[in-house]
Structure 1
Amino acid sequence: MTRFTMDQLDTLRAVVDEGGFEAAARRLHMTQSAVSQRIKQLERASGQVLLRRSTPVAPTAAGDVVLRYARQVDLLAAEALSELGGAEPSASPTTLAIAVNADSSATWFLEALAGMPPQLPVVFDLRRADQQHTAALLRSGDVLAAVTSTREAVQGCSSEALGTMRYRAVASPGYRDRWLGGVADVSRLDGAPMLVFDRTDELQHDFVRSAVGYDPRSPRHHVPASADFARAAVLGLGWGMLPEAQAMPEIDAGGLVELAPDRPVDVALFWQRWTLGSPALDALTESVRTTARTALHQRP
């Protein structure tokens, strides 16, 4: 197999990021024909088809491998240039693409980003995904690190436990009185309006199933933003599972009531990252680790 060139790898990244050959040509200031030729050369060098010519263009399984390599090379090249003092003063900082679930982003993860050493010129590209699905973004090479509920390390990555995010089943006092007969009782939730984050959010269903032994038959409000989800619960639109950090202040203030104080739900979170040696990625990992020690529940 022939070695890949930097031009070929840059072109692959551009085609995937832009979703097509024409848009990649504009980004690279090349003709569309030249972009197509570079991709063909890259596919010949790898001996495999790397892109599905769909709309938008998407990498194949082999394309994911080469794309991940391309992003790793790009990160290491940028960091090496910066350390050697070869970057122009106006050069763009290194971009760190990270997958993180919305609840972590809303409650603790931004503090980890803010804890990065100020001398490291980085910017962050956060990709929101459910903690059960963030690992897929690592496999595809779209991100270099992820907060995930998947313990098993993705190939080419390391995995370490961060702690557990604790959730509480809550509703507003008005919701309790209207839908639950004035009693905060989990057995009365069947048929009562439920809040879910999106169509991949199974946390509420899993909670009811474990508590009463069957799936709830409830109308669902889809509220795909963490702060809006919490606000919807306070306003009485439905009941839902809130991270303890969001729920407890409202419970203490009387804006929410717990439906099952003795049945919190703990979701274990892990930090997965590429195993390449990167000063920026190493610093980010240390900051995430430090922040998680105080923000998440830790095993004794």
Structure 2
Amino acid sequence: MRLQPDQLAALLAIIDTGTFEAAARRLHITPSAVSQRVKALEAEVGHVVVVRTSPCRATATGESLVRLARQQALLATETMAELAPRGGPRGGSRIDLPIAVNADSMSTWFGGVIAACAGWDDIVLRLHVEDQDHSAQLLRSGEVLGAVTSDPSPVQGCSTEPLVTMRYLPAATPTLVERHRAGRGVDWAAMPVVRFNDKDDLQQRILDRHGVTTPPPTHEVPDGAGFVTAVAAGLGWGALLTTQLAPLVASGDLVRLGTRDRVDVPLYWQRWRLPSAALDRLSELVRRESALAGLRPRRGG
């Protein structure tokens, strides 16, 4: 079996851009040429590698080839940068680093990573905002080189290391609490709840602890700042980061629900095991910024 670099590059461009037409524009060839390269690749491996949907996605076989193609592209770009004459004009492409990050990290400690990357003129950072429980799949599919994930088990071909533990506390407005008061607590089964999206199970974990089997009225607000705004407005209760909740409790806008209810989510950094200086540099930056965040819960907190 011989895998041609131009065929792998066509596959990678399709997955990154979503269509054969957009891939053709990226590669500066015709859509017909892209199609011919993919068909030749499928004939070589004996399997379909792209599902022709909108956007296109890789098959299981295609995911393996996408990982290979991205690895080759990264190493080739870094090699060309090393071979470029020192002090000479920039001729090579910038190094493409697709990364998966959960929304709450994006709105807190990961901002320091972005700020530092702003000073790197040899890097193109592409961020995929994905739930921490699902970002590992982007590593498996080859869509990203690294991911902030809640999964400590490394994806095949990846290394993993602990970062921070995000602590979430349930909270609601005083008015919402009074409307759903039940004895010394609240009626968890009736009080409306806000969740980020259908992948967000933080609130459900708390409901499970209270034995709630029928979902209460549930609002979805798939935006980090919008989620906090919705809870502070009384749309429903929600689980907020300690750093998000503290000023709202201090101002009286929100009250914490219960003293023992909390959800701790340990986060890990997974990255491909590649001899890549750019990926090493990014990993060190992620490690440093997460350590500065101070999000690990205090013992007994």
TM normalised by structure 1 equals: 0.90
**Contact kept in structure 2, 1:11 and 1:35, CA below 8 Å:** yes
TM normalised by structure 2 equals: 0.90
Give the distance between the partners of 1:184 and 1:145, measured in 2 at CA: 46
**Contact kept in structure 1, 2:195 and 2:203, CA below 8 Å:** yes
Q: Please report how far the alpha carbon of residue 77 of structure 1 lies from its aligned counterpart in structure 2 after TM superposition.
A: 1.4
Aligned-residue identity in percent: 45
**Contact kept in structure 1, 2:80 and 2:92, CA below 8 Å:** no
Q: Please report how far the alpha carbon of residue 84 of structure 1 lies from its aligned counterpart in structure 2 after TM superposition.
A: 2.3
- Residue 138 of structure 1 pairs with residue 136 of structure 2: no
Counterpart of 1:263, as a letter, is: D
Counterpart of 1:97, as a letter, is: P
- Residue 52 of structure 1 pairs with residue 45 of structure 2: no
State the match for 1:214 in structure 2: 212
Structure 1: 5+ residue stretches without partners = none
- Residue 68 of structure 1 pairs with residue 67 of structure 2: yes
- Residue 27 of structure 1 pairs with residue 14 of structure 2: no
- Residue 200 of structure 1 pairs with residue 199 of structure 2: yes
SS at match of 1:146: strand
Residue range with higher mean Cα deviation, 24-33 or 215-224? 24-33
Structure 2: 5+ residue stretches without partners = none
- Over residues 120-169 of structure 1, what are the superposed CA-to-partner deviations in whole Å (9 max), with x where a residue is unaligned? 62132111111111011111111111111111111111111113100011
Q: Please report how far the alpha carbon of residue 88 of structure 1 lies from its aligned counterpart in structure 2 after TM superposition.
A: 5.1
Q: Please report how far the alpha carbon of residue 270 of structure 1 lies from its aligned counterpart in structure 2 after TM superposition.
A: 0.9
For 1:36-115, what aligned pairs fall within 5 Å after superposition?
36-85=35-84, 89=90, 92-115=93-116
For 1:151-170, what aligned pairs fall within 5 Å after superposition?
151-170=152-171
SS at match of 2:270: strand
Q: Judging changes above 3 Å, is the alpha-carbon distance between structure 1 residues 299 and 117 closer, same or farther for their aligned structure 2 residues?
A: farther
State the match for 1:256 in structure 2: 254
Q: Judging changes above 3 Å, is the alpha-carbon distance between structure 1 residues 292 and 29 closer, same or farther for their aligned structure 2 residues?
A: closer
Aligned CA RMSD, in angstroms, stands at 2.3
Deviating runs (4+, > 4 A) in structure 1? none
- Residue 174 of structure 1 pairs with residue 172 of structure 2: no
Give the distance between the partners of 2:219 and 2:120, measured in 1 at CA: 44
Q: Please report how far the alpha carbon of residue 197 of structure 1 lies from its aligned counterpart in structure 2 after TM superposition.
A: 0.5
Residue range with higher mean Cα deviation, 19-28 or 145-154? 19-28
